[in-house]
């Protein structure tokens, strides 16, 4: 294990001091408390922060969010911005589950309206939503349709009856990210995506029916239409097998490109190519296809959930107030404008397990939230709580407009399975907390046990104290569906 000099800047901000002997071009900046920093150092995550700092054209710093943990190439919770002329694009800085993200729906229902029938509601959602590893969705796309999904995202879904036009204004990129080129997506990736639109997937993906337990910012909560005891629905899913295949395909391309462009890498998992190279342009356009696929996927999942609520409560989802608060991805690369040494520059931002956290009056924030800042949705584990926050101007200055994306793992999936029995966990959550948990796989449930994750309250508090985002409301699970 390499030794690094770490300098304390504040209680919640630390500097991994620039070490040119290790090839670092910029320092590392880690938003953390002392305890979580020590945990990160034990699992070699700081080495990954330092490795990212060696990449050509990196600007300001290699950033790590409070939920940082070990990942492929980049740490999960890693953020890096690159100069367009001298910088690079790296698939490892986006991850395999491209555009994995979170969507939050509000409702006009309160806990008392559903508490007697929560098990029926969850079973109905469970049977209505395809889920699990390799699962096929309810939508079978033909060749033209899947190309339209890759190019148009949630806009395709809405045009085909899976939601309302108003939904797209509360989705990142208005539901369709520009720059997609399906010609740069392999046939294998396309085939993996044919039958997976509108499916949940496995691992840490979930659907939760929740209630609002606590409000921290009443002005912002009112704007979002949130109040105590209100029922909300959170969806966490991504680009499924299509996104995974795109990442796999382009890691091979980038490994060759790194050699071609004489880029010296401390870790081959950081394989990359110059931003304006043919390899990076092709990867980026394929990545955007996966982003649009993921957004369309969450749009369709929301449609199935709205349909279940309609049947159970015998009202349209519009009358039930099942409106979209926001949908945002946390595995993505984007071209954004940021202040670099006092100058506004367009840079290529990689966020891997990190959420965009734009402050008030920044381009890209929905018009009706513009004066507040961008909504930030941070899921926790199935036994505790999740949060909705707001982006801040300080995040723009300190972390290139980024914050955490979740609790962050404490235990590997293998360790969690050894420690936790899925069936017992399911019973315990129901008996002790009244949380209805449904899953296709008890083994998969063990992997996602609360003990496997850090306490998201601590993560969110660090993010708020560091100024990266500010709390609006805390949400607690009533029912959880896992793949």
Which of 72, 74, 90 lies closest to 82 in space, CA to CA? 90
Note the helical H segments in 53-199: 111-114, 118-128, 143-152, 154-159, 187-193
Which of 318, 321, 327 lies closest to 298 in space, CA to CA? 327
Residue 163: how many CB atoms within 10 A of its CB? 22
Distances (CA, A) of 16 to 198, 403, 463: 42, 18, 18
If phi > 0 it is left, if psi is from -120 to 50 it is alpha, else beta; for residue 401 that is: left
Q: Which helix (H) or strand (E) is 378 found in, with range? A: strand 375-378
Q: Buried b vs exposed e over 185-199: b needs ≥16 C-beta within 10 Å?
A: beeebbebbbbbbbb
Q: Which of 170, 205, 350, 405 is catalytic?
A: 405
Residues near 138 by Cβ (< 8 Å), separated by ≥ 6? Answer: 130, 198, 199, 300, 304
* C-alpha distance across the termini of the chain, in Å: 36
Q: How far apart are CA 232 and CA 252, in angstroms?
A: 41
Q: How far apart are CA 180 and CA 215, in angstroms?
A: 39
Q: Is 405 a catalytic residue?
A: yes
Residue with tokens 């990129």: 173
Which of 101, 290, 94 lies closest to 196 in space, CA to CA? 290
Q: How far apart are CA 234 and CA 480, in angstroms?
A: 10
Handedness of CA 135, 291, 302, 443 (dihedral sign): positive
Q: Is the separation of the CB atoms in 446 and 425 below 8 Å? A: yes
Q: Which helix (H) or strand (E) is 142 found in, with range? A: none
Residue 354: how many CB atoms within 10 A of its CB? 32
Residues near 274 by Cβ (< 8 Å), separated by ≥ 6? Answer: 56, 86, 87, 88, 89, 261, 280
Residue with tokens 């040119």: 20
Phi, psi of 477 (to 5 degrees): -75, 140
Question: Residues with catalytic annotation?
Answer: 405
């Amino acid at each position: 294990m390499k030794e690094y000099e770490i300098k304390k800047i504040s209680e919640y901000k630390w500097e991994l001091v620039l070490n040119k002997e290790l090839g670092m071009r910029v320092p590392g900046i880690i938003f953390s408390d002392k305890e979580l920093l020590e945990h990160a150092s034990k699992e070699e995550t700081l080495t990954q922060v330092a490795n990212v700092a060696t990449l050509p054209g990196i600007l300001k710093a290699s950033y790590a969010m409070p939920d940082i943990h070990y990942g492929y190439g980049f740490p999960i919770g890693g953020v890096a911005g690159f100069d367009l002329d001298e910088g690079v694009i790296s698939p490892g800085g986006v991850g395999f589950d491209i555009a994995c993200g979170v969507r939050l729906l509000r409702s006009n229902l309160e806990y008392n309206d559903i508490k007697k029938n929560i098990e029926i509601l969850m079973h109905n959602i469970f049977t209505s939503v395809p889920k699990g590893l390799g699962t096929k969705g309810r939508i079978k796309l033909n060749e033209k349709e899947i190309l339209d999904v890759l190019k148009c995202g949630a806009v395709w879904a809405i045009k085909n009856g899976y939601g309302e036009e108003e939904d797209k204004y509360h989705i990142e990129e208005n539901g369709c990210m520009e720059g997609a080129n399906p010609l740069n997506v392999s046939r294998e990736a396309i085939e993996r995506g044919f039958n997976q639109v509108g499916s949940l997937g496995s691992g840490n993906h979930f659907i939760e029916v929740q209630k609002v337990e606590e409000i921290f910012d009443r002005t912002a909560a009112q704007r979002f239409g949130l109040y105590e005891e209100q029922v909300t629905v959170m969806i966490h899913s991504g680009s499924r097998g299509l996104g995974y295949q795109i990442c796999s395909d382009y890691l091979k391309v980038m490994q060759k490109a790194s050699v071609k462009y004489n880029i010296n890498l401390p870790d081959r998992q950081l394989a990359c190519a110059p931003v304006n190279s043919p390899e990076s342009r092709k990867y980026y356009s394929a990545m955007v296809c996966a982003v649009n696929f993921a957004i369309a996927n969450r749009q369709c999942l929301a449609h199935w959930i709205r349909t279940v609520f309609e049947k159970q409560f015998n009202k349209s989802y519009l009358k039930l107030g099942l409106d979209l608060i926001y949908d945002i991805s946390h595995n993505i690369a984007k071209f954004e404008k940021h202040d670099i040494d006092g100058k506004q520059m367009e840079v290529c931002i990689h966020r891997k397990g990190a959420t965009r956290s734009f402050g008030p009056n920044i381009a890209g924030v929905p018009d009706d939230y513009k004066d507040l800042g961008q909504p930030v949705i941070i899921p926790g584990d199935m036994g505790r709580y999740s949060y909705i926050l707001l982006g801040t101007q300080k995040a723009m200055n300190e972390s290139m407009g980024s914050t955490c994306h979740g609790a962050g793992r404490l235990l590997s999936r293998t360790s969690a399975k050894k420690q936790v029995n899925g069936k017992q966990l399911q019973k315990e959550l129901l008996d002790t907390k009244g949380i209805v948990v449904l899953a296709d796989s008890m083994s998969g449930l063990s992997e996602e046990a609360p003990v496997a994750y850090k306490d998201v309250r601590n993560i969110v508090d660090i993010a708020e104290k560091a100024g990266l985002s500010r709390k609006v409301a805390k949400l607690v699970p009533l029912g959880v569906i896992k793949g």
